[in-house]
Chains A and B, each alone.
Chain A
Amino acid sequence: MKLINKRKVSKWVYLYLILGVSITILPFIWMFLTSIKTYEQAIAIPPILFPKTFHFENYVKIMDKFPFITLYLNTIIVIVFVVIGQLIISSMAAYAFARLYFPGKNILFLLVLSLMMIPSQIFLIPHYNIMISLKSINTIRALILPSLFNAFGVFLLRQFFYEIPKSLDEAATIDGASYFVIYKRILLPLLQPGLVSLSIITALNTWKSLMWPLIVNRDMDKMTLSAGLGLLIGEHTTYYEQVMAGGVVSVFPMLIIFLIFQKYIIQGIANSGIKN
């Protein structure tokens, strides 16, 4: 251990990291700088790094043209319902697969696993038809329903259940606790790292999801931020400074959440890898 600590870190490591970080964050900084310029300043050549006065009116203009608040609200609603739904449904199923014995268990689990192999596009046309039959085209619930059921979540949580000692269940059974009480009172609290991990992965996926909202919903006020912003790109491409202001509005709140909950988010993503 001491040997390793004493080992000098090569200059090349720093060079790589500084280059890497520059390539990662300079584009975002440039996006912000463009967003506080006038149109003329944004397209000036040679480029103006810092404008003398900050033109935050671009933010007002883009907020007028584009319903960011509605889009954020929609995104939050969808994320909350999908995450809570998945936590309940996946953890119940994972409990049955990890702890209970019942006929057909292996076949059923294999079927669930096999879903993870199928690219999601396979389901899109049928999902669209299902939404027609549920009269849910162009609604928020259309964005929630198909995502409530997730094979990956079951698989992930099952792995976390295996890490909880089985003696806890056995002791509770002797005390006469029902399966539901064991699941809810004893195991769920201990499953917290798994639940946090699944929540983060699910929230991130929902946050980024683009194709399904574009397909199933038409109106801007029924879109998530991701899909709404995708449509914005097509419409107002010429006013770069306003589009960049829109970009900043859609990046910075999440960035701040990331900075605050960094530890959990990174751990959550890391867990999704290890447990497989």
Chain B
Amino acid sequence: MTKQKLTEAKSAYLFLLPLIVGLGYFYFYAFIQNFYFSFTDLSSFGKPSLVGLENYKKLLTDEKFYLAFKNTLIYVLIGVPSVLIFSTLSAEFLNQNIKGNTFFRTALFIPAVTMPAAIGILWRWLYNYQFGIINVLLNRVGIESIAWLSNTNLVKGSISIVLVWSMSAIYTIIILSGLQGIPKSYYEAAEIDGANKFQIFFKVTLPLLTPTLFFVAVMTTIGIFQIFDLIFLMIQPTALSLRYSMSMVYYFYDRAFVAFDKGYASAISIILFLMILLITVVQLKLQKKWVYEE
């Protein structure tokens, strides 16, 4: 018996070996290394030396970091509710008995398989001040051209539009499969009781969908906290509007791999990690308040 248990444990460790070695080296060791770097003046050359809490102190007075932090929060505050609303509406409507269901479904899901670089190329063209189709159409109806990507007040909104446009597809798929998991009998019972469409949606569908919506809320929050691609692809490094659109991850990338101030960049990444951790813990705590359990 004990011998059998020993073989089982031995086999288990063998099965786990590649994963443990890989995760250990590339992730656990890397995590500790990054944490250590945040207390050093690591740049691209030479050996790093310890500087204590210097990097973190610098963060407190760094105006650019403050802006990046604020911008990121705004992306999250606009993006998460928008993605939730659009994905839920799309999923709910696709789940109805509509004509041309396959066409609508396929068309709505296309952004889910499109790479950010292509999305960036496409939207920069649509947003183009002089020749972009959006401004041309606005001019037609008597509205003046809008500097979508260079107006410092609008740039976050313009990027958020593309963000929501590109993110909603995946979450529509996930919410749709959540909807399909709701037993039909609930709807039948509600209909027999004479509930109308709105009552059914708000009293039956939404409560039963809350576990999925909770998952989507957590995933989109974490995802948008790490927004980088669209800003990198749509805003020129020299543009004035960069200050008003760059995110924490953009600033991290800029410090680490453009300015080569890697010790400082490590500190930024640690703060990002702590922020995401904090928000996820808060969301988990709030979960009990609104997520319906059977």
Interface size on B, residues (CB 8 A): 101
Q: What 1/0 mask marks residues of chain A from 182 to 223 whose CB sits below 8 Å from any chain B CB?
A: 010000000000000000000010011011001100000000
A-contacting 9-mer, from B52-60, B63-71, B75-83, B252-260 = B252-260
Interface of A is mostly: helix
User: CA–CA, A21 to B216, complex, Å?
Assistant: 22
Q: What 1/0 mask marks residues of chain A from 166 to 189 whose CB sits below 8 Å from any chain B CB?
A: 000000000000111001000000
Known contacts A89-B19, A179-B8; is-contact A17 B131 (Cβ 8 Å)? no
User: CA–CA, A240 to B2, complex, Å?
Assistant: 71
User: CA–CA, A96 to B8, complex, Å?
Assistant: 9
User: Any chain B CB within 8 A of the CB of A229?
Assistant: yes
User: CA–CA, A98 to B20, complex, Å?
Assistant: 16
User: Any chain B CB within 8 A of the CB of A110?
Assistant: no
Interface magnitude class on chain A:
35 or more
User: CA–CA, A162 to B256, complex, Å?
Assistant: 42
Set of chain B residues within 8 Å of A128, measured between Cβ atoms? 257
Contact assessment for A210 and B117 in the assembled complex, using a CB-CB cutoff below 8 Å: yes
Contact assessment for A25 and B16 in the assembled complex, using a CB-CB cutoff below 8 Å: no
Set of chain A residues within 8 Å of B28, measured between Cβ atoms? 111, 115
Among A14, A93, A145, the residue within 8 A (CB) of B19 is A93
User: Any chain B CB within 8 A of the CB of A107?
Assistant: no
**Least Cβ distance of A120 to chain B in Å?**
7
Contact assessment for B123 and A27 in the assembled complex, using a CB-CB cutoff below 8 Å: yes
Nearest opposing residue in chain A for B32, CB measure: A126
Set of chain A residues within 8 Å of B111, measured between Cβ atoms? 24
Give residues 93-121 of B contacting A (CB, 8 Å). Answer: 93-94, 96-98, 103-118, 120-121
Set of chain A residues within 8 Å of B94, measured between Cβ atoms? 17
Which A residues lie at the B interface, using CB under 8 A? 1, 3-5, 7, 9-10, 13-14, 16-17, 20-21, 23-25, 27-28, 30-31, 34, 42-43, 45-47, 88-90, 92-93, 95-97, 100-103, 105, 108, 111-112, 115, 117-130, 145-146, 148-149, 151, 154, 178-180, 183, 204, 207-208, 210-211, 214-215, 225-227, 229-230, 232-234, 237, 240, 243-244, 246-247, 250-251, 254-255, 257-259, 262, 265-266, 269-274, 276
Which B residues lie at the A interface, using CB under 8 A? 5, 8-9, 11-13, 15-16, 18-20, 22-23, 25-31, 33-34, 37, 42, 86, 89-90, 93-94, 96-98, 103-118, 120-126, 128, 130-131, 133, 136, 165, 169-170, 173-174, 176-178, 181, 184, 187-188, 191-192, 197, 212, 215-216, 222, 225-226, 228-229, 232-233, 236, 249, 252-253, 256-257, 262, 265-266, 269-270, 272-273, 276-277, 280
- 10 of the cross-chain contacts (CB-CB < 8 Å) are A88-B18, A89-B18, A115-B23, A117-B276, A122-B273, A123-B27, A128-B257, A145-B26, A230-B117, A270-B174
